[in-house]
């Protein structure tokens, strides 16, 4: 028997079993809406996804995403979503074993994958909605930073707990959420440190060799790109002795923020590339993405705080502000070249060291 048919035939029994499990849970405390509305939605999602899998419909992932977002908008907490998906999965497995249902191993594999994807989507959506709710110009910078870190820490902690339970594998969607959350937390801390240095005037001047500098950037930025499923490459300058004068921490934050912006808006399996070139007195570091080009009229708004472009609304849009301030602190500028249909090239222009 196909698993979607088994779920449909035994829907009422599975819902009742899940409600018993949810009702006996100590934390997070169950709510009436969760018991009456959430569980049927969870089960219907599994049925829809399994059915689309069997008919080889390419939109099966979109079904899981829509259901996860609907639940978050209904007011369910991320803890409820994670635990309820686990309860549904356990109830289905218990019932199938009790009744000796001849369900194929492939269907159980699909069930586990649905669970993994749904949890990952719920955690990601929770962080996204929390970010947007905090993105108002009246927020103090420190409050924004703490809010972002708290959300990412919550996502990472919940993902870790799910992985620790053994229900999903580290290489699945939940593992990707954990990796992405940790990478974003590291980037936030680096950005905040750079902001503090810029505010207090703790600018340290030293000679920075561009080749070695880009090698270090590659280590950090490649993690961010890999978590998004984006290809990443660095092409060092032809002149090995090419150098600039500046604060390596602030300059690193400047380039990393450009890279993160590029990765964020590049489609999965796209390419982000860094390259460097020079004239007699200037050094240009180019960060090229494959975002498809800028929306009409968005060029001037790119470096305005809290103004985000495109469909991906994660983060608070402060990265490019920090990048511009970092460039100006080094006597440089940042400009963007729009390549319609392909992407953008952000160019950091700096004075060349003698």
- Contact by Cβ (8 Å): 326, 250: yes
* pTM of full prediction above 0.85: no
Q: Contacts for 218-225 with beta carbons within 8 Å, 24 or more apart?
A: 218/274, 220/186, 220/252, 220/256, 221/256, 221/259, 221/260, 221/263, 221/272, 221/274, 223/179, 223/183, 224/183, 224/184, 224/187, 224/259, 224/260, 224/263, 225/259, 225/263, 225/272
* Residues 122-151, mean pLDDT to the nearest whole number: 58
CA of 7: how far to CAs of 12, 57, 102, 193, 303, in Å? 9, 19, 13, 52, 51
Task: Indicate the pLDDT class of residue 144, thresholds 50, 70 and 90.
Answer: low
Task: Indicate the pLDDT class of residue 346, thresholds 50, 70 and 90.
Answer: very high
Instruction: For the chain, give the percent of residues with pLDDT over 70.
Output: 67
Domains of the chain by residue range = 3-193, 206-351
Q: Which residue has the higher pLDDT, 195 or 333?
A: 333
Which stretch of 31-40, 265-274, 285-294 has the lowest confidence by average pLDDT? 31-40
pLDDT over 90 at 143, yes or no = no
* Residues 21-50, mean pLDDT to the nearest whole number: 71
β-strands 333-339, 282-288 pairing: unpaired
Percentage helix, strand, coil for the chain under 3-state DSSP, each rounded to 5: 60, 10, 30
pLDDT over 50 at 105, yes or no = yes
pLDDT value of position 353: 92
Contacts of 148 (CB under 8 A, 6+ apart): 131, 134, 188, 315, 316
- For the chain, the average pLDDT equals 75
* CATH fold label, 206-351: Heat Shock Protein 90 (3.30.565)
DSSP 304: S
> pLDDT tens for residues 196-240?
666 666 677 889 999 888 888 887 778 778 877 899 999 877 777
Strand, helix or coil for residue 201? coil
CA 351/CA 331 separation, integer angstroms: 7
């Amino acid at each position: 028997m196909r698993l979607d048919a088994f779920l449909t035939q035994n829907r009422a029994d599975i819902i009742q079993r899940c409600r018993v499990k949810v009702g006996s849970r100590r934390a997070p405390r169950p709510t009436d809406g969760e018991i009456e509305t959430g569980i049927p939605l969870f089960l219907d999602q599994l049925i829809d996804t399994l059915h689309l899998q069997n008919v080889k419909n390419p939109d099966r992932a979109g079904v899981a995403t829509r259901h996860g977002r609907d639940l978050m908008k209904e007011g369910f907490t991320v803890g409820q979503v994670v635990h309820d998906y686990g309860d549904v999965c356990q109830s289905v497995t218990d019932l199938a074993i009790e009744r000796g249902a001849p369900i194929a191993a492939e269907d159980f594999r699909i069930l586990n994958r649905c669970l993994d994807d749904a949890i990952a989507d719920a955690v990601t959506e929770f962080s996204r909605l929390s970010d947007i709710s905090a993105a108002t110009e009246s927020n103090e910078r420190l409050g924004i930073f703490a809010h972002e870190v708290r959300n990412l820490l919550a996502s990472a902690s919940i993902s870790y707990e799910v992985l620790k339970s053994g229900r999903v594998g580290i290489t699945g969607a939940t593992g990707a959420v954990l990796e992405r959350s940790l990478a974003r937390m590291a980037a936030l801390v680096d950005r905040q440190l750079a902001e503090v240095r810029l505010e207090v005037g703790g600018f340290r001047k030293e000679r920075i060799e561009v080749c070695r500098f880009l090698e270090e950037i590659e280590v950090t930025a490649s993690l961010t790109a890999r978590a998004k499923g984006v290809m990443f490459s660095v092409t060092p300058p032809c002149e090995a002795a090419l150098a600039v004068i500046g604060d390596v921490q602030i300059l690193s934050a400047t380039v990393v923020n450009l890279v993160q912006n590029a990765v964020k808006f590049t489609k999965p399996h796209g390419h982000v590339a860094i390259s460097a070139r020079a004239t007699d007195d200037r050094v240009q570091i180019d960060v090229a993405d494959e975002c498809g080009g800028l929306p009409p009229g968005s060029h001037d708004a790119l470096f305005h705080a809290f103004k985000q472009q495109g469909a991906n609304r994660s983060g608070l849009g402060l990265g490019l502000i920090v990048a511009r301030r970092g460039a100006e602190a080094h006597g440089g500028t940042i400009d963007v070249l729009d390549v319609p249909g392909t992407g953008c090239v952000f160019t950091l222009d700096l004075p060349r060291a003698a």
